[in-house]
A and B are shown apart, each in its own frame.
Chain A
């Protein structure tokens, strides 16, 4: 509430939005730790579904020899993205393996030959300025680039808005508002030129003149470094108030562009495209060096990790391998999460692989999670104040609990919920509001299919 007032005092104040929460950001464990390049794993498990959209089908078979960067799974559908080998070696299995999002999913298992050889012609050197837009789009698609903030939506699809929806603003989402995560922060500090090149390529593809980079105030070094790097490019760095969910796409657009994405709409409906820091780097790599998305920076942290780190990991490395590189567990983890603590997905085992959208691996101790028995709603209104979307989360939870999913949709804007979890974080009754929201959404979807 107070942040809104502070905003109006002057432009020097960081920008903010209505609602939101202030959890301890816990970034201190890894913020000062440079990205460490993980050794090439002996074996990788590369799932054929690493993005939203049509799943890929394996294009290699057991026994094939593959090089790093070679396509191992692909799909013809537009809303899809090819998947590449992240090490060189032999395909030893093509079968269902554990997956951090889908439970089990077909995967290509590659055993390393120890050479770590690139496919022929990679890396190369290419000047993006000399390429035209359709060329750039093709290269981004071929590079298997997807949104690396977690949702993993194929990037080339976001870059191809229909003609009736002109885009005039590009925003690089560098808020990294999830507690614990520092991957984007380290990337900004250590791969600054890659980030800026990626932003410039993305802006050229979209044909936009206005580019913004939104960074939360708790990362002053990143703000300084990026500001220096964008000097003269016309791209503007926007410091944002440190508040969750500052980096949620819709809130970010409201804060930076002062536009509200309509209910059920997409950012492109208001002329905006948002991309994540890691995605910009992947775009720059794919375009300038022909390197497909085979590795990513992931923060491995949490109260149960012995030595938290920012690791550059090959896609297909298992969580167990990554945790081992961080000295293993120092205490029994209560929860293992892919992504951040607010929107990440809980895992039931450690042998799931890192995929393109894995921004973090969190091993949370019992003290970190502070759960409690779910009690009835006491209508304290904290969730209403925290909701960045202006909903009534308490009612969504009560209606969800009672199977009144249609009422939730029709009278309480269920479908506008972005599941940021702010309401659950502040709830004194420890209600699992996001759980009920997801349940109600699924029930509505199922009911729609029945009709």
Chain B
């Protein structure tokens, strides 16, 4: 039979089709998201100085170490290099004040990776966004430290003595007019919100750099534009309608859309593949829901800012959304 066969092969892999695959991988996605966050992260170092860098390094290193130890303990393959723990650490850092005492980010990172991610089964199985769980844990544990904001170099001249305040905090406690007065006028305020240079967590200061990073992720196809657009749009619409105190549609949607963690959350956390619905239709529902909850917390709730809890709450209904919203199946139409 094989007498005339001169073609010899040593080892052929046999597996189910298909036999070719694209060159995407989990680590490529995760590192790209990290890279997209980099401009805003670097800007925060420029703005808040070394404390920002320190907080970031602590979060990332502790997240990686926790991941490594948990995987080792569970006898799972070491995937620390895939960039997802780094991303969780970085996102956590972006969500807390730069000057927070050093041990708090350690606790936050351990909670994010050890509890939010790995008690659920690790990457792909967690229901809640790990970085946001870490942040929520810190906010519940050390509410004062978590809301004591360093004043950015740029803003110092403007606020003149008023430290520890974010635009949303000022809005909540002292009202809209006071906030505008601090910046001088409305356009000046928008400019600072857009370019950066206000108090807040590490990553929530520069809208434009976050949008550039997010736009790059949309361009690469790693996130769907629908999520940030619908989430930010919902907040804008609702704060415009209900955010003012002189009747309907007297609010300032631009202020609300650009302040707090909304841009960061909408582009980088409401788009976390693992914890949001898998269909685009489901993601739109998720985004609108998160926008509505954010507005509810900001306008009526006790906190000045609600993006974190809004996304976490929507994370909890993601399995339900996926159950109800499925793609239009071929053959179901006619």
Contact = CB atoms under 8 A, between A and B. Distances in A.
Nearest to B276: A379
Given A254-B330, A344-B19, A430-B25, A379 B278 contact: yes
A281 interface: no
B2 interface: yes
Among B22, B29, B224, B280, residue most surrounded by chain A Cβ atoms (within 10 Å): B22
Most buried by A among B15, B18, B279: B18
Interface stretch (A127-135, A257-265, A307-315): A257-265
B29 A380 contact: yes
A429 interface: yes
Contact of A346 (B1, B10, B19): B19
Interface stretch (B118-126, B175-183, B228-236): B118-126
A260 B7 contact: no
Given A428-B29, A434-B17, A328 B6 contact: yes
Contact of A344 (B2, B17, B332): B17
A16 interface: no
A324 interface: yes
B125 A376 contact: yes
A391 interface: yes
A38 to B, nearest CB: 14
Contacts of B274: 378-379
A376 B124 contact: yes
B9 A333 contact: yes
Contact of B7 (A323, A347, A438): A323
Contacts of B122: 376
Contacts of B328: 18, 390
A424 B326 CA distance: 19
A158 interface: no
A432 interface: yes
A114 to B, nearest CB: 15
Interface in A328-386: 328-329, 332-337, 341-351, 362, 364, 368-373, 375-382, 384-385
A423 B211 CA distance: 30
Interface stretch (A4-12, A69-77, A413-421): A413-421
A414 B280 CA distance: 21
B22 A426 contact: yes
A380 B223 CA distance: 9
B140 interface: no
Nearest to A434: B16
Interface string B297-334: 00000000000000000000000001000111111111
B135 to A, nearest CB: 21
A13 B11 CA distance: 45
B144 interface: no
A140 interface: no
Given A324-B7, A376-B125, A384-B278, A425 B18 contact: yes
B174 interface: no
B160 interface: no
Given A262-B331, A392-B326, A346 B124 contact: no
A387 interface: yes
Interface in B268-313: 273-274, 276, 278-280, 283
Given A378-B26, A428-B25, A430-B21, A346 B4 contact: no
Main secondary structure of the interface of A (DSSP, over half): loop
A265 B332 CA distance: 12
Given A43-B4, A328-B6, A429-B26, A343 B329 contact: no
A416 B15 contact: no
Given A351-B2, A391-B329, A345 B12 contact: no
A250 B330 contact: yes
Given A346-B12, A379-B124, A381-B279, A320 B21 contact: no
Nearest to A21: B22
B187 interface: no
A42 B322 CA distance: 59
A390 B16 CA distance: 21
A341 B19 contact: yes
Given A321-B4, A378-B123, A428-B29, A23 B330 contact: no
A332 B20 contact: no
A421 B19 CA distance: 9
A97 B1 CA distance: 10
B222 to A, nearest CB: 8
Contacts of B6: 320, 324, 328
A332 B22 CA distance: 22
A376 B14 contact: no
Interface of B: 1-2, 4-10, 12-26, 28-29, 77, 79, 121-125, 222, 224, 273-274, 276, 278-280, 283, 322, 326-334
27 contacts: A260-B333, A263-B331, A335-B15, A336-B9, A341-B18, A341-B19, A342-B18, A346-B12, A347-B14, A349-B9, A350-B5, A350-B7, A351-B2, A364-B20, A368-B19, A369-B19, A376-B121, A376-B125, A378-B273, A380-B222, A381-B224, A384-B279, A390-B330, A392-B279, A421-B18, A425-B22, A428-B29
